[in-house]
Amino acid sequence: MIDAVLPVVYAGTAVATGTLAAFTWRDRSATGSTAMVGVLVAITFWLVAITAGGLVTDLRTMLVLSSVALAGLSLTVAFLFVFALRYAGYDDRLTGRTALVLLVHPLLVGFFAITNDGTGVSLLGVGGHDLIYESVEIGAYANGNVEWADGFWVHTAYAYLLTLTSTVLVLKTTLTSNDTYRFQSATVAVAILVPWVSNVLDLFVPGIDGLLALGFGASAILLTVSIHRYELSNVTPVPRRVVMEAVADGVLVLDADGRIVDLNDRARSLLELPGDALGADACSVLPPALDEFADPATAPTRARVSYDGRTLDVETTPFGDENGGRVFVLRDVTEQHAYREELERKTERLDRFASVVSHDLRNPLSVAKGYADIAEETHDPDAFERVHDAHDRMDSLIEDVLLMAREGETSTNPEPVGLADVADRAWTTVDTEDGTLDVVDPDATVEADPDRIVQLFENLFRNAIEHGGRDVTVTVGALDDGFSVADDGEGIDPDVDEDLFDTGVTGDGGTGLGLAIVDRIASAHDWTVTATESDDGGARFEFHGVTRRPDADVATNDPEPIPDDPFA
């Protein structure tokens, strides 16, 4: 009964697989479709050969068709392996060399089967051997009564190995898939197991033979339905390896003993790990930048480290039990870190500029206000001139600070200036009515930006008045490589001596900006400034590295004359 039904089942299955092959080829954009076309075509030839072999009575013709069937079986398992690789996400393994190796087996099996003794076929002078089978009885062949030779068993072992590998790949990927795709995964799992069930029935159930081809046919039909009906290409479970390599961050996995049990290429690249890092003790291969993560008990869950010129965010997550392993996620934030630091520098600089503006404008503003009151009462032309000078000074300060904001640094345009001239200009813009200015060397000339050095002297004079009293005496003197500014006030507070030029440092309630501005202006000129005690017990500031110009024409930058009474 079974022998009578099998040819019909073979033929029907062949029609089904051939039709599905044509349909799948027309719609081969889905993942795995091309490999499945190969499986379907190979199974179709296999089934057709078996069906035709059961209908012929000539031994040689039957053996030739059997050779085609063996080649079809070999091609089927080869294409099924290709499908399994694609399904499991190992597309990168499908190289031209892999395809060539997979083709060798079907070609050799087909060649040696068709030239085996008994077929009467000789190809390329090869014939008369018994590598595939030793003897065949035509009356019993349909029932599998064949004396197989060693070549057949080698072919069978290879086919089993390839099919087993395909099964493991598919089942492993299916079992780790998302529960959202449970039905699709179950379909694939059943499909890959059907050939094994049919093979077991063939081998161990009496009276049943020839089900293996049908099992592979049913498997191919189920897989093809999964590809098209359930959109298998869109829900293929993504294997761990694909995820590990797809993420932009470095991933490093340590076991409970601190050994590296997994890592992706990104982690290897970021940490410059050697090729044999996998399986090695983490402490022996990880860079010193990660030493703080060595002990799980004290390691931070997240930290930022610097390594090889890069800034890395390192985050750790434990897994398993209390003494389990850890997963490290490493993110390269070098650009973000640099951008943040630059933004903080710009913000700090803008705050400093705002402080400089408010600080330095108070000097000429105070002078202008005082002389405006005098001018209003007396109409004294000198008072009006002082008001105009103060306003000009404020205008100059505003322009200079705007320039500093645009350029990011204190700009300097050095030229020869007389110390006495710039000291006098600065003295007139500071409220120093009861103070005394003494320029020891009135002919001394230095190279400096005229506006910047005036700003420097203004802040030094204001500092002297704030800390030495309104009747302070300030002395400006020349040095071999610079100049000095000293006063007879109370001197430098020892509590702020070391941080005297830092922003915000003040000894007795000042703004803490004046000497910071002095230091910035000196640095912009490539000068060095030091603070010591003066001969009179006050503060003395020395500027070194200044270019002296004893015979140069001096830029005075005197203000333009104004009318005696601008309100007349």
Tell me the average pLDDT of the chain. Answer: 79
315 and 354 co-located in one domain: no
Whether pLDDT at 233 is above 50:
no
**Count of structural domains within the chain:** 3
d(CA 171, CA 181): 14
Contact at 8 Å (CB) between 429 and 502?
Answer: no
Length of the chain: 568
Domain membership of residue 240 (yes or no) is no
- Are residues 492 and 358 located together in one domain of the fold? yes
282 and 226 both lie in a single domain: no
Angle 236-241-244 (CA atoms, 0-180°, nearest 5)? 110
Residue 551, in any domain of the structure: no
Reported as a single tens digit per residue, the pLDDT across 493-512 is 776 666 677 654 455 544 45
**CATH code assigned at 308:** 3.30.450.20
Concatenating the DSSP letter of every residue in 324-352 gives --EEEEEEE-HHHHHHHHHHHHHHHHHHH
The pLDDT, as a whole number, for residue 353 is: 67
Q: How confident is the model at residue 451 (pLDDT cuts 50, 70, 90)?
A: confident
- Assigned domain for 210 exists: yes
d(CA 1, CA 466): 119
Q: If you write DSSP's letter for every residue of 398-411 in order, what string do you get? A: HHHHHHHHHHSS--
Give me the pLDDT at residue 396, please. Answer: 62
Q: Please, are residues 293 and 314 in contact by the beta-carbon 8 Å criterion? A: yes
Indicate whether 83 and 196 sit together in one domain: yes
Same domain, 369 and 510: yes
- Least confident among 39-48, 339-348, 353-362, 423-432: 353-362
Q: Residues 206, 6: contact at Cβ < 8 Å?
A: no
Q: Mark whether 473 and 511 lie in a shared domain.
A: yes
Same domain, 429 and 387: yes
Q: What integer pLDDT is reported at residue 32 of this predicted model?
A: 64
DSSP 298-318: T--SEEEEEETTEEEEEEEEE
What is the distance, to the nearest Å, from the Cα of residue 295 to the centroid of all Cα atoms in its chain?
26
CATH number at residue 32: 1.20.1070.10
Check: CB of residue 309 under 8 Å from CB of residue 289.
no
DSSP assignments along 21-35, one per residue: HHHHHHTTTSTTHHH
Picking from 68, 152, 50, 156, the residue whose alpha carbon sits closest to that of residue 110 is: 68
Structure tokens at 374: 């005098």
pLDDT computed for residue 29 by the predictor: 63
Q: How far apart are CA 85 and CA 220, in angstroms?
A: 15
Q: Is residue 8 part of a domain?
A: yes
**Residues contacting residue 566 through CB under 8 Å, at least 6 positions apart:** 384, 388
With contact defined as beta carbons under 8 Å apart, do 531 and 496 qualify? no
28-37, 222-231, 405-414, 449-458: range with highest mean pLDDT: 449-458
In the predicted model, what is the mean pLDDT of residues 293-309? 87
Assigned domain for 90 exists: yes
Domain boundary among 177, 207, 235: 235
The helix or strand, by DSSP H or E, that contains position 202, with its residue range, turns out to be helix 182-204
Domain match, 438 and 408 both: yes
The CA distance from 282 to 294, in Å, is: 8
Round to whole Å and give the CA distance between 80 and 193: 12
Per residue in 181-192, pLDDT tens? 566 667 777 888
Let me know whether 302 and 416 are in one domain. no
- DSSP state, residue 248: S
User: Please, are residues 113 and 72 in contact by the beta-carbon 8 Å criterion?
Assistant: no
- Distances from the Cα of 335 to the Cαs of 50, 246, 302, 312, 512, in angstroms? 66, 21, 19, 10, 34
Residue 549 lies in a domain: no
Q: From CA 465, how far away is CA 454, in angstroms rounded?
A: 16
CA–CA distance, 140 with 134 (Å, rounded to integer): 14
Highest mean pLDDT among 359-373, 467-481, 542-556: 467-481
Residue 487 lies in a domain: yes
Phi-psi map region of 89: left, alpha, beta (phi>0 left; psi -120 to 50 alpha): left
210 has a pLDDT exceeding 50: yes
Asked if residue 302 and residue 218 are part of one domain, the reply reads no
Q: Which domain holds residue 188?
A: 2-235
Q: For residue 422, give the CATH number of its domain.
A: 3.30.565.10
- How many CA atoms, within 13 angstroms, populate the side-chain half-sphere of residue 163? 24
User: pLDDT tens digits for 146-195?
Assistant: 888 999 999 999 999 999 998 898 888 777 665 545 666 677 778 888 88
Residue 567 covered by a domain: no
How far apart are alpha carbons 492 and 533 in whole angstroms? Answer: 7
pLDDT for the residue numbered 507: 53
Let me know whether 212 and 270 are in one domain: no
Report pLDDT digits (tens) over 64-92: 888 888 898 999 999 889 888 887 777 77
From residue 482, alpha-carbon distances to 386, 442, 479, 533 in Å are 30, 14, 5, 17
Distance CA 314, CA 326 (A): 12
Candidates 419, 456, 453, 462; CA nearest to 439 is: 419
520-562 pLDDT, tens per residue?
889 889 999 999 889 888 999 999 999 987 654 444 444 443 3
Res. 348 pLDDT band, cuts 50 70 90 = confident
Residues 109 and 184 in one domain: yes
Confidence of residue 516 (pLDDT cuts 50, 70, 90): confident
Give residue 419's pLDDT. 93
**Is 58 exposed, middle or buried (CB count within 10 Å of its CB: 0-12, 13-18, 19+)?**
exposed
- The string of pLDDT tens digits covering residues 316-344 is 988 766 677 889 999 888 888 888 888 88
Average pLDDT over residues 411-433: 85
Half-sphere exposure of 508 (CA within 13 A, CB side): 13
pTM over 0.75: no
Using a pLDDT cut of 70, give the percent of the chain over it: 79
If one compares 45 and 7, the residue with the highest pLDDT of the two is 45
Average pLDDT over residues 9-30: 81
How distant is the alpha carbon of residue 483 from its chain centre?
A: 53
Q: Is 172 exposed, middle or buried (0-12, 13-18, 19+ CB in 10 A)?
A: middle
When pLDDT is averaged across residues 380-399 and rounded to a whole number, the result is 78
